[in-house]
Structure 1
């Protein structure tokens, strides 16, 4: 936005909302009504293209040839560069005069530049509204970028070039995108398998540890662990052995004095 200044007053009316083509046609209609033969050479003219230094209208009357440049700018002031360019185009075309019309405002530098050349006339937003009178409200408000500052036009051209890429470039881009996506998915798949393997190993080790019964010890020596419950026969045999052991202890142990 360097080099462009915002307007002091932004108009909010029907003229500010018409398209740039409509703005050009409104200006052309005004000059036709003033007795000029109008040749529409700008982008708003049917079958024409902007190849004449930004000139939109050529006005013919008697010996007069006047070039008109329309600037449908509502946000930014028209700078002095446009005035200087118009001077060069005017001499090249052999015109007798030139007019710059804007729906907004001119910078002070532009006004001072035009004042140095009596064949250049500037018409700002207030003047053109007085010239055109009431303008019909457009059915669909239109915001054009074609007559906006160059930095906006360059942005639009860049976007258009990206949109209109060749099929080969688009196909290569699609293949690269797919390859990257597959690589990411493969990496994710491998990581998930590794995590599953680790979790399975941990679960197996946990079951192995819990299945091992702790060994009971008596004075540091392993004690008998019965994996299965004792039967009545085993209990009777154990009681018999215990009774026999007690009798042996009684016989071999001296009697204590009363």
Structure 2
């Protein structure tokens, strides 16, 4: 409950587990046993849809006391409820008013009640002494429709949010996965692009290097040819020696070369035309 202060001590007993309407009836039975004629005017009385800030009316002699019951175990009753009951008390012509809670009051509520001698506050510890032992309830609340209107609306709103939460979580998970996939896809595309650019650069550099070597090659070939002309024997390339050969050496080499060619022709099968 937004804006409310939690209690300093949370009771865990039978009274804390009874329904809000049972709590009102227990308080009514107590005052009935104390000699009051009790009129149950709150929603816990059965037919009333709104309580108008009053749950019980107590009558005894000339006394008319209004009672507001707050079955709150988790939150402190604020000063607003005290001020509201003061206004209702004057409107109804009551001689006094009581606010009963199964929990605690805020300091502001206690200070507000202290300014009016006809207002009495009964907290959780006091009401447990007044009521004595309370039977453990078999089932705290039979159904949602048995609860006050403000509790029903709060429970329905909370249930609606709970029912929507799995859908919201699923949508969030899908969105997160989509974003992650998009980031990974962008990363891999960028890496592939960088690799392609690097490969292209290497290819261009290699091609440029080969073209430069090709451009330099023709300038050196004529010089080599002019320095050492190619010799042929029987229209076949001849070995060029750095040391000049005499005629006898040339004749002997040619004879060996011719013999070698005859051996190759005999041992090599003819190729089909």
Whether 1:219 and 2:218 are equivalent positions in the alignment is no
CA spacing shift, 1:239–1:10, aligned 2, 3 Å:
farther
CA distance in 1, matches of 2:77, 2:225: 86
Q: Which whole-Å deviations, capped at 9, do the CAs of 1:194-221 have from their partners, x for residues lacking one?
A: 99999999999xxx99999999999999
Measure how far apart 1:155 and its partner are.
3.1
Question: Secondary structure of 1:38's match?
Answer: strand
TM-score by length of 1: 0.58
Highest RCO, 1 vs 2 (Cα 8 Å, sep ≥ 6): 1
- For the 8 Å contact 1:7–1:77, the answer to whether it is kept is yes
- For the 8 Å contact 1:64–1:96, the answer to whether it is kept is yes
- For the 8 Å contact 1:36–1:59, the answer to whether it is kept is yes
CA distance in 2, matches of 1:49, 1:228: 134
For these two proteins, the number of residue pairs brought into alignment is 254
Q: Which whole-Å deviations, capped at 9, do the CAs of 1:32-81 have from their partners, x for residues lacking one?
A: 00000000011111x43243422110000011110000000000000000
- For the 8 Å contact 2:69–2:99, the answer to whether it is kept is yes
CA spacing shift, 1:178–1:117, aligned 2, 3 Å:
same
- For the 8 Å contact 1:17–1:143, the answer to whether it is kept is no
CA distance in 2, matches of 1:158, 1:2: 14
CA spacing shift, 1:86–1:188, aligned 2, 3 Å:
farther
CA spacing shift, 1:2–1:251, aligned 2, 3 Å:
closer
Larger Rg: 2
- For the 8 Å contact 1:14–1:136, the answer to whether it is kept is yes
CA spacing shift, 1:203–1:74, aligned 2, 3 Å:
farther
- For the 8 Å contact 2:63–2:94, the answer to whether it is kept is yes
Q: Which whole-Å deviations, capped at 9, do the CAs of 1:97-149 have from their partners, x for residues lacking one?
A: 10000000000000000000011000000000000001111112349999999
CA spacing shift, 1:189–1:104, aligned 2, 3 Å:
same
CA spacing shift, 1:188–1:118, aligned 2, 3 Å:
same
Point out the more displaced range, 133-142 or 216-225.
216-225
CA distance in 2, matches of 1:33, 1:217: 143
Alignment correspondent of 2:37: 37
TM-score by length of 2: 0.55
Measure how far apart 1:173 and its partner are.
23
* Higher percent of residues as helix: 2
- For the 8 Å contact 1:215–1:223, the answer to whether it is kept is yes
Question: Secondary structure of 2:38's match?
Answer: strand
- For the 8 Å contact 2:43–2:50, the answer to whether it is kept is no
Measure how far apart 1:233 and its partner are.
58
For the aligned residue pairs, the C-alpha RMSD in angstroms reads: 13.6
Point out the more displaced range, 229-238 or 74-83.
229-238
Q: Which whole-Å deviations, capped at 9, do the CAs of 1:223-249 have from their partners, x for residues lacking one?
A: 999999999999999999999999999
